Structure 1
Amino acid sequence: MSTLQTVIDRIDIGDLMVRYARAVDRCDAALFASVWAPDALVDYGDGDTAAMAWSDGLVGRLRGMDRTQHLISNSLVSLDGDSARAETMCTAYHRFTEAGVALRMLVGGRYLDRLVRTGDGWRIAHRRYVMDWNETEPSTMQTDGRFARFTTLGSRSPDDPSC
């Protein structure tokens, strides 16, 4: 494999990881379809599940939260022709209300992915999630006072300003 192709593949795989995070945070089912290979599987601790069915369930659960933000970092990719393996770190912020109390939950983990090159580009064929840590505490988010001038807030698809 040429050095140029290696660079292109790494950039494309990085874009794939970011597209996944965007699909989660915007609750965008159509965008989820662009990250999974046909017959892709995910394992978030309860065994392998069909990726698209899992994504549909995730969108439903996340719509019950006020907001989320998934940050992707430190991706280690091993290329082998039309397949690859990647370990990618993720830090996720979730804000939700439980028993009338606004909470924030931070979760740190890693995606262990097996990827394949398809006719539509790189896709995730199998994802295993490893949680490394989590914290839940009352939220201190403010939209008044010093933050009142920030009148554009993020939201779910299709209402988010980026959509």
Structure 2
Amino acid sequence: MTTSTTETGVSPSVEQRLGYLADRIEIQDLVTRYGLGQDLHQDGDNDVLAEWDRVFAPEATVDYSVTGAPLDGVTYQELAEFMRRPGGSMSGIRNWQHFEGLPTVDIDGDTATARTPHLHTHKGGTDDAGWNLIQTGFFVDRLERRPEGWRIVHRRLEILWMDTFPTTNPA
């Protein structure tokens, strides 16, 4: 549903518009909670699922295969394990922050799609020989309304560009 007119050319009611806005805000919060799940759990705290269990449906799958890793059709729990286990993909990263932009959201009853731009920053290496990584791209989500609220049932990562550069210490 859009907030202007429906496919029939009839303007949605105030109740329909408010319902759409409430759903959209809930989905936006859900998308942001994904990044918070990453960012609130650093320095050896690997309990990313404390937030992600409120983001994804229990059976949700992800496709992060664009990274080159075998991560197409895996569960979000397997993704967390891949990233956060000892020796995992985030084990060489000291700090990070995940900025999730405002998604475009299309809602059709109890299903929705969202496309969210992201900017992810990572600091790795040692203090003497550190490096930074920036990744930009999109998350493309399929969502379902569940009794507990909106949940992502499938997420695909798209990377627009990624770059690394050395850490500098200002004089």
Of 105, 109, 113, 1:81 maps to 109
TM-score by length of 2: 0.77
Structure showing greater radius of gyration is 2
Query: Where does residue 44 of structure 1 map in the other structure?
Result: 64
1:1-163 matches, within 5 Å, as 2-27=16-41, 28-45=48-65, 46=70, 47-60=72-85, 61=88, 62-97=90-125, 101-140=129-168
Are the aligned partners of 1:29 and 1:59 in contact in 2 as well (CA < 8 Å)?
no
Amino acid of the residue matched to residue 74 of structure 2?
Answer: T
Structure 1 residues 22 and 141: CA distance shift in structure 2, 3 A? farther
- Calculate percent identity across the aligned residue pairs: 32
- State the secondary structure of the residue aligned to 2:93: coil
Q: In structure 2, what residue type is equivalent to 1:139?
A: T
Residue 129 of structure 1: SS of its match in structure 2? strand
Q: How far has the Cα of 1:133 moved from its partner?
A: 0.2
| Aligned partner letter, 1:126 | H
Shift of 1:141: 5.9
Task: Name the SS of the counterpart of 1:21 in structure 2.
Answer: helix
Tell me the amino acid that sits aligned with residue 130 of structure 2.
A
User: Which amino acid is 1:5 matched to?
Assistant: G
Alpha-carbon separation, structure 2, partners of 1:90 and 1:124:
16
Partner SS state of residue 101, structure 2 = strand
* CA distance, structure 2, for counterparts of residue 140 and residue 66 of structure 1: 15
Q: TM-score, normalised to structure 1's length?
A: 0.80
The residue identity in structure 1 corresponding to 2:29 is D
What whole-Å deviation, never above 9, does each CA across 1:133-153 have from its counterpart, x for those lacking one?
A: 0110101366xx8xxxxxxxx
Instruction: Output the amino acid matched with 1:86.
Output: A
- Unaligned residue ranges in structure 1 (runs of 5+): 146-163
Amino acid at match of 2:36: R
**What is the Cα deviation at residue 94 of structure 1?**
0.3
Tell which has more relative contact order, 1 or 2 (C-alpha 8 A, sep 6+).
1
Deviation at 1:38, TM superposition (A): 2.1
